[in-house]
Structure 1
């Protein structure tokens, strides 16, 4: 008998910065405007979006305050990214 699952579990991950860029754009904000609203240096935002900087607890809380996206989402995405990088 073959086991089936209803759970989708891809074998790839995207850096959370790509998701952040999409969220910023969907709110009609530029990176610079978002950086000011979230009180995060624009260089940090650029590094996150470029995949060179993680989304930390402090950054996740600032994202929540400015975009209304719960920090848990960023932790899940960041964790998946780290696991994928270790597996590569």
Structure 2
């Protein structure tokens, strides 16, 4: 049986946009090419990566279609980000 001391529960989170930037790069795409592929304005992509715009359901589905990443991931990351931002 595991105690709560055995669980790793960091008190930090990275905005989902930072993860998106890494995923775009890992697929060998520029932000502009990804925006075109996902049919999302490049300004929106830049705002997400800059932590100024959330990843909405529509955007998460477009990411899935263009990069193959499940939409749930973005909502989990975003939820953790918001939860920790409220605690500070």
TM-score range (shorter-chain normalised) is over 0.9
Aligned to 1:8: 8
Q: CA offsets per residue over residues 35-78 of structure 1, 9 Å max, x none? A: 00000000000000000000010000000000000000000000
CA distance in 2, matches of 1:10, 1:73: 17
Structure 1 stretches of 4+ moved >2 Å: none
Q: Quick check: 1:67 aligned with 2:61?
A: no
Structure 1 residue 8 displacement after superposition: 1.9
Could you tell me the TM-score, scaled by structure 1's length? 0.93
Gaps of 5+ in 1: none
Aligned to 1:41: 41
Aligned to 1:55: 55
